[in-house]
Chain A
């Protein structure tokens, strides 16, 4: 390897990354020594990197709790439920703010119209006691004349002397036979 120009700066960066993955070869060490000798700033960077790597290796490995996996799943489920609740609340409120469709609007309009007509009819058909009293006075006089009992038999009374079979004529004709 010949450390030359900009290409060499890139090689130094690659060696920095590479040393975290595997030990450097002898050839790479030789190239590095030459590069660090020529570039004091990179030497300081390399030294800091080495110290940091050593410190990391010396850190104790954390021991995960026995229910670590279960807690992770529980957190996932909880997060999903929260998200779902939030969506449901949003949907549940949405129709309030949404404009009604044409059919719904027509239905509401029809109901309001019927209610209005019904109210008007009730208002229009409401009568004053004096007005009702006039009808009661005159009709009770009319009904009282034949009496209510006779009114119940109105049709029978009306038909009492109606035209029927001419038995007198029949008798005369039969007598003539």
Chain B
């Protein structure tokens, strides 16, 4: 009885949300239908899925399993990011002067997010825009959500590989890591004589490699060095799985063209992850 009441309430809420938004189906995201599927009992889902084409049924079944396994907050963040992508994507290829009519179709609850991302989009150089429009991964990144475990498992064939030097960091506690990083930062505040004494105190086999890295750091501006230190700190605090993912990404990064990298850098800067709770609130179950 309670289940039935919940289902009726969900359907009514969905209808009311639909009624509150513009009547056109162009403005309603197909994600709404997926939300309804997620809220259904397994037997009702099976009935619903059986009526769909095989290709659609396969994708939806896989996704339902994946989304069922997610924590509610993460599930909702991913659904909102997908909805935002649905509303934003067509607007990226229109010129600002002709957007008004398309923007009016976007549900009011999503409109501020869409307008904010469009403003950032319009500031990008045309070359970067072209690069993003031809790269689906970059397009998706524009609407990425801010979720704790934002990195999916490594694709098959990509073996987890963490360099020995980095694995050694895992054996240190947080305080030891912080002390080592602090000593490293301290080095750059020393005068030339003191730096020479520090380098002389390094073990002979590692001295040359350390000197090369120190030279690279010395050539950075103060801001760049601080950013690298923050990155090192974050890298050292990652779990082994996160580090594995980072090094896999780093390999991929090195294979990317400079144009693609430049586009990625801009996307990361201009399109921060969607804050938790961004967009409309989901209907109550």
A residues in contact (CB < 8 Å) with B: 125, 127, 129-146, 148-177
Q: Name A172's closest neighbour in chain B (CB-CB).
A: B59
Decide if A129 touches B201 in the complex (CB within 8 Å).
yes
- CB contacts (< 8 Å) of A135 on chain B: these are 179-184, 186-187
Known: A136-B214, A152-B228. A142 touches B235 (CB 8 A): yes
A22 to chain B, nearest CB (A): 102
Known: A142-B169, A157-B249. A148 touches B216 (CB 8 A): yes
A157 to chain B, nearest CB (A): 5
Decide if B56 touches A133 in the complex (CB within 8 Å).
no
Interface of A is mostly: helix
Contacts A/B (CB < 8 Å), 8 sampled: A132-B198, A135-B183, A144-B212, A157-B253, A163-B78, A168-B59, A169-B82, A176-B53
Is the C-beta of B20 less than 8 angstroms from some C-beta in chain A?
Answer: no
- Which of B55, B198, B228, B264 has the most CB atoms of chain A within a 10 A radius of its CB? B198
Decide if A165 touches B140 in the complex (CB within 8 Å).
yes
B residues in contact (CB < 8 Å) with A: 25, 30-31, 33-34, 52-53, 55-56, 59-60, 63, 78-79, 81-82, 84-86, 136-137, 139-141, 143-145, 147, 149-152, 163, 165-166, 168-169, 179-184, 186-187, 190, 194, 197-203, 206, 209-210, 212-214, 216-217, 220, 224, 227-228, 230-232, 234-236, 245-250, 252-254, 261, 264-265, 268, 273
Decide if A139 touches B30 in the complex (CB within 8 Å).
no
Decide if B210 touches A132 in the complex (CB within 8 Å).
no
Decide if B151 touches A142 in the complex (CB within 8 Å).
no
Given A137-B203, A159-B150, A169-B60, 4 more A-B residue pairs with CB atoms under 8 Å apart are A127-B186, A132-B190, A145-B163, A170-B86
- CB contacts (< 8 Å) of B145 on chain A: these are 163-164
For the complex of A and B, 8 pairs with smallest distance between CB atoms: A135-B183, A165-B85, A154-B231, A173-B30, A164-B140, A133-B201, A172-B59, A139-B184
B124 to chain A, nearest CB (A): 15
Decide if A127 touches B183 in the complex (CB within 8 Å).
yes
B24 to chain A, nearest CB (A): 13
Decide if A151 touches B232 in the complex (CB within 8 Å).
yes
Interface of B is mostly: helix
- CB contacts (< 8 Å) of A150 on chain B: these are 250, 253-254
Known: A136-B187, A160-B252. A153 touches B151 (CB 8 A): no
A165 to chain B, nearest CB (A): 3
Decide if B235 touches A146 in the complex (CB within 8 Å).
yes
How long is the Cα–Cα vector from A45 to B246 in the complex, in angstroms? 132
Decide if B183 touches A134 in the complex (CB within 8 Å).
yes
- Which of B31, B152, B182, B184 has the most CB atoms of chain A within a 10 A radius of its CB? B184
Decide if B253 touches A154 in the complex (CB within 8 Å).
no
- CB contacts (< 8 Å) of A146 on chain B: these are 235, 246-247, 250
B252 to chain A, nearest CB (A): 6
A113 to chain B, nearest CB (A): 25
Decide if B198 touches A129 in the complex (CB within 8 Å).
yes
B26 to chain A, nearest CB (A): 11
Known: A138-B180, A148-B217, A176-B52. A167 touches B246 (CB 8 A): no
B262 to chain A, nearest CB (A): 10
Decide if B201 touches A158 in the complex (CB within 8 Å).
no
- CB contacts (< 8 Å) of B264 on chain A: these are 156, 159-160
How long is the Cα–Cα vector from A136 to B265 in the complex, in angstroms? 29
Decide if B249 touches A161 in the complex (CB within 8 Å).
yes
Decide if B56 touches A176 in the complex (CB within 8 Å).
yes
- Which of A130, A152, A156 has the most CB atoms of chain B within a 10 A radius of its CB? A156
Q: Name B253's closest neighbour in chain A (CB-CB).
A: A157
How long is the Cα–Cα vector from A132 to B232 in the complex, in angstroms? 17
Known: A135-B184, A164-B140, A167-B136. A140 touches B210 (CB 8 A): yes
How long is the Cα–Cα vector from A146 to B147 in the complex, in angstroms? 25
- CB contacts (< 8 Å) of B165 on chain A: these are 141-142, 144-145
Known: A135-B179, A140-B210, A162-B151. A130 touches B30 (CB 8 A): no
Q: Name A125's closest neighbour in chain B (CB-CB).
A: B186
Known: A129-B201, A135-B183. A155 touches B268 (CB 8 A): yes
Decide if A159 touches B183 in the complex (CB within 8 Å).
no
Decide if A132 touches B186 in the complex (CB within 8 Å).
yes
- CB contacts (< 8 Å) of B84 on chain A: these are 165
